[in-house]
Chains A and B, each alone.
Chain A
Amino acid sequence: MIILYFFILSVILGVLVLVLPSKKMNIMAGIFYVIAHISLSFFAHHHMDLTDSVYFKFDHISVLLNALLSLLIIPTFYHSKLYLQRHIRDVKRESQYIAAMIMLFTAISGVYFSEYLVILWVCIEMTTLLVGFLVLHDRYQTPIEASWKYLFISSVGIAIAFMGILFLAAQISDREGANLSVSYLMSMASTMNPVFLKTAFILMLAGYSIKLNIFPLFAATIDAKTVAPFPVNAIISTCLVNAGFIGVYRIYSIISMSEVIFWAQKVFLITGLISLIIAAVQLFRVKRFKRMFAFSSMEHMALILIALSVGKVGYYAAILHLVFHTLVKSGLFYQFGQIRALYNSGWFKDTGAYIKLNPTGALAFILGLLSITAIPPSGMFVSEFLIFKALFSSGYVFVGIISLILLTVIIYIFFKNGLHLLYAEKPENYGQQKALSNKYESISQLVLFGLVIYLGYNPPAFFTDFIQLAISGIN
């Protein structure tokens, strides 16, 4: 019943923070929550493949993603403290922010560990609500627009995904002991009507695409990420994307037990390619860093889908890439917090001479830039190399070449804008508002980027074994 206790604890902490708003309470609740979340990850690791609180289960993929979330909660709370100091100077609103963050982390963990598709869907719905609130936190015009779009399109997307679950339910409703758990559906998949499986897969992929930040419902996510506070972005661009991935991964696990798997892989390939093309084209038009990072998430998720489409040879690379993307993208958003504070703007045109103004931050940014574009020594070079190796060795030469061309375009845009930030002339309006700097702010990014390099080139055996076990359940 540990997950149930964890949920109750989260709600209590959230309510306490809301009811007793004070800086001390926020810090205490944050620390207590971090300890609880890390403990949950350890507990889950030690109770692998066991069911908990009836509707949840600890499997390798969920434990891996939850551990990543535990790892990111610490820097996210630290950077949230800086964000609140800089932008929100109202204790009540700070408390609302902290309470919503606590609930968002809990809902994401709920998605990871859900064994039942309906519970997974409910937890995803909870994340929508909380992200809508967190995006709105600044309460000026553009967050209201972004928040409205996100809530509306997410609600429609989630309704579509629910229809997918209903199609699966239709296939098992007359069987003895039927339930909507992933394990049960996997065991029944081979006996299900392929048309129903295909319909369920398409509906769930389309519905969860808003969380996964891919075609077709990516637009509202991009807008939400453009205006969300940067620590929130560090989570919704990584761990929440992983939650969307889990939603799709669960239905794919079920499909993989049937003959429909090859069809599903083709759908992944087409969705991945379309998403990659959209990301590359849209990146030409972006004028601000957060939007650029948002489209970059779309690019990486597209690559992960393409890797899954190859089949067994691509699964390892897909999960490895997901892990590295989580670490790198969160680091980039933490770094963006410094850029935003220094220039008081997130637009490319308002930035420049970063290497002179903030050398440590610039070093972290260069490492982040190399990491996200998968240029050595980035660990993402290894995962992307494995993806392309899988593509070419499986005969997907044309897809591989197209993807490489699109990635080249994306790298060019990233470097063009990144080098502008680092080496362009200092902007004219620089220094009009004093930046609230913190000399320790870059540490979290350097640690995260360093970790990706280490895991990429010298992965410990337990890490690779863990990923292998995570993918062993699917065909």
Chain B
Amino acid sequence: MSVTELPTRLSTRHLLGIRDISAADIELIFSTAEGFTNMLQGRIRKVPTLRDTTVANVFFESSTRTRISFELAEKRLSADTVNFSASGSSVSKGETLLDTVRNILAMKVDMVVMRHPAPGACQFLSQHIDANIINAGDGTHEHPTQALLDAYSMRRRLGDLRGRRVVVVGDILHSRVALSNFLCLNKLGAEVAVCGPLTLIPRYVESLGVKVFAHLDDALAWCDVANVLRIQHERQDINFFPSLREYHRLYGITRARLAKAEKPILVMHPGPINRGVELSSDVADDPDQAIILEQVENGVAIRMAVLYLLGASTER
């Protein structure tokens, strides 16, 4: 899509998931993020755009990266921010989600960035309150800004993603990044596959237009990009595979494995990395191959773009 065909506004007031936004919205976010990426590399790191806007970062689940990234994005747009985390708050006293957020909004907050363990929590909230809502991860459902920054990072390295092949490796079942990634990459015209122990792959994943590889070597032979997910020990109350050592042997990305594919493969990881489990250190630390820190850097620009575009669509 050329620049002149881009819309000037997002088609939505909230960013609840990639499912709800169009390919044109994604292109608009990318084109705006491009501006912020350039800005962040230059002299000006902060612009006054959202100085009249207050953003609440409401995190019902722990997060370091996403939260810092959102907070930096907000501050670089000059928005006022308030942070709320569930631990040590009135949530532990039995307050409902709606009451908690209504109380925060009563203090005149314009946007809510929320992470919640329940899938659909942001959707629910958007039906009841007036602020712009940005989903920062709802359970194992969606994590739209992560998918956007992943696709944006791929695009900055590879150009147009149409026809590119991306394999998502690892724990698909417990991942919110995976679904958003499938939807986003599909909208941008890329082919998507998953690879991992079959116990960690959702049963009907093919209905999303996703190929399934049981063997990592086959997947690597097929793909241009490997997006490696973290094994989420904290979400696994039963054992989905016999041991971490076995997991690494079968699904761990190592230099030797990548060399076998005999072509350049971009390695991505949404963090935090379990070194020596899903990714070996030599791959993770190779800046030509793994773009993990680039993803983090692009994350701020993407989140600035989302905040900016949603903020611009709202009259104050």
A and B assemble together: no
Binding site for B on A (CB under 8 A): none
Residues of B within 8 A of A (CB): none
